[in-house]
Amino acid sequence: MMIKQFLFVLLILVGAPIVGGLLFGIDRKITARMQGRYGPPFIQPFYDFFKLLGKEHIAVSRMQFVWIYGYLVFMIASLVFLVMKSDFLLLVFLLGFAGVCLVLGGFSTKSPYAHFGANRELMQILAYEPVLLLLAIAIYAQNGSFLISEIFRQDKPLLFTLWPLFLAVLYVLTIKMRKSPFDISTCHHGHQEIVKGVTTEYSGPYFALYHLAEWYEIILLLGIISLFWTNPLWVGILIALAAFLLELFIDNITARMTVGWMVRLSWSVGLILGIINIAYIYYTKGVS
């Protein structure tokens, strides 16, 4: 049992970046087609990755690389927590640590661009973290446990009762995928800018690590979305993929908004959705 689980985790850890990289390749292709361009090949992200890996180790600060390792390791740890069906609340905290690492990576340089990016990334954390924590509480209210394994044990999909939070999580996905209108701290594709926010000062292998972490992150996020429908799981995965495609569509029809607007929107609409959702569950189930 232990060995089987271990092998499964290992498989996910190896497979996640491959699938994640491919997803980003598809992203670039579809986005290009939407904009009437031809677009790079699907495996372009891997070309980029290995190209970056082969470059010289260059840094602008001595602490920068520590934080990018932290970002990667905590992202992987969050994914392992998801795969092992562990505590969802703790998973959110670990994901928060990963975000903090990225911010500190930006702050550790003496670069105005990285600083702006880091400050904005911090605001992005402020925008999405409450929604994820509310999701954890809603899952508890629904299932009586914070464990992801408990979600898998339920026959009725979470989506039926938690659909308002599902909507909120969708825009968390937009923020996390760095898509318009929330591509604020740095954007996923180079839009107008080439100097790219919080990642400005990363180059070469360290920048490759950043990409690797992003690949893990997309799998983690889609995994969280698929939790909304776990029996059978393939429905959840389809929902997650649909959400992914929806993000590409949103990215191409919206323009970037400001940080303040994002936080206000998230703290009003997102929280209201979450609160209504939790209140509804309490109303139907009662506080035990």
Partner 1 sequence: MADQMMAIAVLLPVAAGFLVLAVRNYYARNVIVIATAIVLIANSILLALRGPFTYTPSGFDWGLLITILDYAILIFYLYVGITLRNWLVLIFALTQILPLAYFEFIMKAHVEVAPAFVVDHLALVMTMVISIIGSLICIFALRYMYDHEHHAGIEKSRQSRFLFWLVLFLGAMNGLVFANNLVWLYFFWEVTTLCSFQLISHDRTKEAIHNAARAVWMNSTGGTAFILAIIYLYATQGGSSALSMQSIIGGGIQSSIAVLPIALLCYTGFTKAAQMPFQSWLLGAMVAPTPVSALLHSSTMVKAGVYLVLRLAPVYAGTYLSVIIAIAGAFTFFAASALAVSQSTGKRVLAYSTIANLGLIIACAGINTPLSIAAAILLIIFHAISKGLLFLCAGTIEHQIWSRDIEDMEGLAAKAPLTTLITGVGILSMFLPPFGMLLGKWIALEAAYMVPLAAIFFVLASTLTIVFWTKWLGRLLQVLPKIERPFEKLSLSYSVPLWTLLIGIFVVGMGIGPIYQNFLRAATNDVVSGNQIIALGLNNLILITPSFMQREILGLFPVWPLYLILIVALLLPLMLIGVKPKELRPVYMCGEQTGGTDTDEWLAEADRKTKFQLGGFYYQGTLGEKRVNPWANAIAILLLVIMLGCGVIAI
Q: Which of left, alpha, beta for 256 (phi over 0: left; psi -120 to 50: alpha)?
A: beta
Residue 200 binds to partner 1 (criterion: CB under 8 A)? yes
Q: Are 133 and 169 in contact (CB under 8 A)?
A: no
Q: What distances in angstroms separate CA 67 from CA 123, 201, 219, one per listed residue?
A: 18, 13, 21
Cα–Cα distance, 19 to 9 (Å, whole number): 15
Among 82, 134, 198, 248, interactor with partner 1 by CB under 8 A: 134
Q: What distances in angstroms separate CA 25 from CA 20, 67, 135, one per listed residue?
A: 9, 26, 30
Closer to partner 1 by CB, 4 or 57: give it.
57
Residue 1 binds to partner 1 (criterion: CB under 8 A)? no
Residue 195 binds to partner 1 (criterion: CB under 8 A)? yes
Residue 118 binds to partner 1 (criterion: CB under 8 A)? yes
Q: What distances in angstroms separate CA 31 from CA 15, 20, 28, 189, one per listed residue?
A: 24, 16, 5, 9
Among 83, 114, 177, 218, interactor with partner 1 by CB under 8 A: 114
Residue 167 binds to partner 1 (criterion: CB under 8 A)? no
Q: Which of left, alpha, beta for 30 (phi over 0: left; psi -120 to 50: alpha)?
A: alpha
Among 30, 59, 159, 265, interactor with partner 1 by CB under 8 A: 59
Closer to partner 1 by CB, 37 or 55: give it.
55
Residues numbered 138-157 forming contacts with partner 1, rule: CB under 8 A: 140-141, 144-147
Cα–Cα distance, 135 to 177 (Å, whole number): 19
Residue 192 binds to partner 1 (criterion: CB under 8 A)? no
Sign for the pseudo-dihedral over CA of 79, 85, 89, 90: negative
Residue 115 binds to partner 1 (criterion: CB under 8 A)? yes
Among 42, 93, 163, 280, interactor with partner 1 by CB under 8 A: 93
Choices 6-14, 52-60, 161-169, 230-238 (CB under 8 A): range interacting with partner 1: 52-60
Cα–Cα distance, 128 to 272 (Å, whole number): 13
Among 73, 170, 235, 269, interactor with partner 1 by CB under 8 A: 73
Residues numbered 247-276 forming contacts with partner 1, rule: CB under 8 A: 260, 267, 271, 274-275
The count of residues interacting with partner 1 (CB under 8 A) is: 69
User: What b-and-e string marks burial along 103-137, b requiring 16 or more CB atoms within 10 Å of the CB?
Assistant: bbbbbbbebebbbbbbbbbbbbbebbbbbbbbbbb
Task: List contacts with partner 1 (CB under 8 A).
Answer: 56-63, 65-66, 69-70, 72-74, 77, 86-87, 89-90, 93-94, 96-97, 99-101, 103-104, 106-115, 118-119, 122-123, 125-126, 129-130, 133-134, 136-137, 140-141, 144-147, 195, 200-201, 260, 267, 271, 274-275, 278-279, 282, 287
